[in-house]
Structure 1
Amino acid sequence: MFSHFFNKRKPQHDPITVLEKLNETLELLEKKEDVLLKKVNAEKEKAIEFIRGKNKRGAAQCVKRKKMYEQQIEQLGNFQLRIHDQMIMLEGATVTTETVAALRTGAAAMKAVQKATKIDDVDKTMDEITQQTENMRMIQEALSSPIGAASEFDEDELEAELEELEACELEEQLLQPATTAPAVSVQAPAPAERKPTRPVMSTSELDELTALQAEMAL
């Protein structure tokens, strides 16, 4: 029973509940202040009427009531200032409390993370990463190594042969003349005039010509 009673009254001390209650009280005081201001104005008007009617006693009574209302207004103003001051302090305390609670939550979370992540586990993880990196490097080197006939070549012999070829190429470049004579254009000779070809003689005609030359020689 008592626990139920205390649990029921506990929310009354909640900062949000208190701020709401102070705000309601402040609104009530402002309403009372408005009512008193209206009464002050009313008493002032009555006093003016009594003065116009040459009723100084009635005017004095109105002025007294007016002064009493003004004192109450001043008192309500002081109450409002106190409530405002209390609300500002409570709001600041609420922000402080929430900040502290958030910091505690963050500290607890950090502590839980540190508890779950031990330094030994971190060192073990880093060792595993290093070992995996080394294994991957060895695998890449094994894959990039030459196999078959290419693996039988001696790197020193290949380098020596390459240097020999470079030396030969340099020597050929040095032996070449600096400038080369311009090529002389050779014009093709004009085609010779064709001479008339002799008619081809038959065998009998050749024999007769031979016999005729022999006779003329005698």
Structure 2
Amino acid sequence: MFTRIFGKPKQDTNALTTLDKLNETLEMLEKKEKVLLKKASGEVEKAKEFTRAKNKRAAIQCLKRKRLYEQQIEQLGNFQLRIHDQMIMLEGAKATTDTVDALRTGAAAMKAMQKAVNIDDVDKTMDEINEQTENMKQIQEALSTPIGSAADFDEDDLEAELEELEEAELEEQLLQPATTAPSASVHVPAGRQPTRLPQKRTAEEEEFAALQAEMAL
């Protein structure tokens, strides 16, 4: 989206080209260093051969050339160190530039979006939303208002009637006995007692019978 509005972000082609050139130079110096190391090692081997051949002068010449190669190797090492330092500085500068460009692009995008949205339009939209919300509340209240015969009912009378029902229900619960007492046995003469099969009494009946026996005593 931002690319379509503002175009492609500008790249620092000069910095990229410079980094490529430094990399190429660094590779060239490393190759030369390897060649010089090989030459210095060769001069040492030649000096050993001349020493074994008792040719001291030729051996010293080989060591002199080795010293020259070593000086060039040290110089190449300094060059490489400077190039590395330059590359680090250039990469840091490029990162800083990219960061600033990104921040600038973001600020421009935010500014463009702010221009696209007018504060007056936002206020107007919010007023419309509030108005629609209030209208919806009024519609819901109108739909929930009783109409017809239901609108004639007095809420106070209905609440009073409900309280009477609750009190009547409470009184009925208080008048109910907690447990139903067993019916008292009727005394019948011995000769007239009907013959009944023995029934198994419950624990509650046995307890009640024991209580009656104690009272009789």
Alignment of 1:1-218 (within 5 A): 14-176=14-176, 180-183=180-183
Number of corresponding residues: 179
Structure label with greater radius of gyration: 1
Offset of residue 177 of structure 1: 5.3
Q: How far apart in 2 are the matches of 1:60 and 1:53? A: 13
Q: Which structure 1 segments of 5+ residues have no match?
A: 1-10, 191-218
Normalising by the residue count of structure 2, what TM-score does the alignment of the two structures yield?
A: 0.73
- Where does structure 2 lack aligned partners over 5 or more consecutive residues? 1-10, 187-192, 195-217
Q: Residues 139-181 of structure 1: CA distance to partner in whole angstroms, max 9, x if unpaired?
A: 2222222222212211112112212222333344445556554
Deviations 1:19-60 (A, max 9, x none): 111111100000000110111011111111111222121112
Find the aligned partners of 2:151 and 2:160 in 1 and give their Cα distance. Answer: 17
**Percent identity for Structure 1 against Structure 2:** 75
1:126 to partner: Cα distance: 2.0
Would the alpha carbon gap of residues 129 and 146 (structure 1) be closer, same or farther in structure 2, given more than 3 Å must change?
A: same
Q: Secondary structure at the match of 2:157?
A: helix
1:58-110 CA distance string (max 9 Å, x none): 11211111111110000000000011111111111111111111111111111
Amino acid at match of 1:158: L
Is contact 2:12–2:94 with CA below 8 Å preserved after alignment?
Answer: no
d(CA) in 1 for partners of 2:35, 2:76: 12
**8 Å Cα contact 2:46/2:62 also seen in 1:** yes
Q: Distance in 2 between matches of 1:12 and 1:110?
A: 24
Distance 2:68 2:43 in 1: 11
TM-score, normalised with respect to structure 1: 0.73
Return closer, same or farther for 1:92/1:12 CA change in 2, 3 Å cut-off. Answer: closer
